Structure 1
Amino acid sequence: MRKQTFAFSILASSLLIAACSTGQALENNQSSVDRQTAVNVGDDSGDSSTDESQSSSPSAEISTEQASQIATDLLGGTIEKVDRDVEDGVTVYEVELYSGQEDFDVDIDVATGDILNIDGNLLEAENTIDVSISKEEAEDIARNQTGLADIAQIELEMKNQSYVYDIEMLSIDDDTDIVIDANSGDVYSMDTSIATKGADAFKDANLMPRSELESILVEQFGEDLTIKDLDLDRENGKFMYEVEIIADNVRYELVVDAENGTLLEQEIDD
């Protein structure tokens, strides 16, 4: 009878040990599952952080090479320099290039690649710019608006993404600019003095028109001549044209009698 009781005790002890082992294994497995779940949650959190980082990253920008290509596609010529700057709160590439004997500064939006402004006479560029109003039509509009007869200088530029003619009327007054939209023909801006001054200053003068002055200069310097700047001045009651020209790739500064076309001074500008 004692042997049976002892055997039963051993069997009960064995079952108890097995149950404890099974419980411990289940607990360990659950801990492993919990740890794996925590790892997976951490991975998801990492992915979310990556997604958030990607979504908050800045939008793609054009490169300096792309900006250079945009400028030369429009104007031709060769790139001299590219800088990065902020203009009116907009980050831009300032592209400097030389085209058709003219220096240009082109502002290009870094984010969009849009050309915002061009400083330099586009009429001189290697490539022709397509606008609705011709140079001659713009000159006629300027004459009608100002009452002045002659054009000292006309340039085609881009301001605030619009092509405009910047025209300086021939006058002894320094403020003689009128700016005309190159596609609509509307007056973009005009110096307030231009409509009230200028014409009266020539009342008693017998001034040579620009076309005649150009003919005289061509006779002296040859057909390959470009007038870069023309100003009218008066000293001791005598009218004179101060002229800057390029002839055969040489830049000259001239002073010419505004009534008879006599060349008074000549200097080569280095």
Structure 2
Amino acid sequence: MHILATNDDGIDSPGLWALAGAMRAAGAQVSVVAPAEEQSAMSMALPPQANRELRAIIPPAEFDGMLAFAHNGSPVACVTIAMLSGVLPPIDAVVSGINRGLNSGTNVMLSGTVGAAMIGAMWGLPAMAVSLQYRGPEPMPWHTAAYAAQRLFPLLAQIRGQAPVVLNVNVPHVASPAELRGFRQTRLSEFFFGHYLDIALTPPGPAERAQIAFHFARERIPEFALDTDDGAVLAGYVSVTPLRPMIDGSPVRLELPDQ
């Protein structure tokens, strides 16, 4: 299987290369086309491509022989280039991530990580987006999310040939795979970031020339049901949520690994 790996955090993100390594360890041929710089929250944007460039890059040493390119456009543009430009052999599946921070609840509509996987699904390919919980200054345990992605690799074959579907994977921030409680198929939570934002104007009063400060009020976030993506991650499970860009009424049932 030839997999395209991409992301929205940029070509230099360690999460991208952790995911590429996980797919290679699972037995896939892997190529990379990713944004030259961070393109977070781009969703499925495909901006005008005037004065854009695609450049070949040298992957880290452990990926010797892999085709890898950086593009100064959006994640969706990266996938589109990979599909249509002829710079890569035919692609069998798209994986996106590993994102620095969860893409759960309504955040999936903003996420460039999910957007890249979604456009792959709309091309008719099995697609997976992988995101890792962020905890401020704590080091990101990329190897834990890479382990989860490798364990879930067989699901790409399970969903091949189905109506377009993206497997949206969110991984808890735990130091080692042994600390994961398992895998759960979930639904999107009702989390909407807009309910937990406070906006302050400085100086207060008339808005002309005021500086705007955004504060995310984490202390107001409620508890989530265990069958939701946010609830499962907070309980220590890897959440796997099937997303469809088009509604056809047929459920997606996944055979998840135990651990």
TM range (shorter): under 0.3
TM-score by length of 1: 0.23
TM-score by length of 2: 0.23
Q: Which has the larger radius of gyration?
A: 1
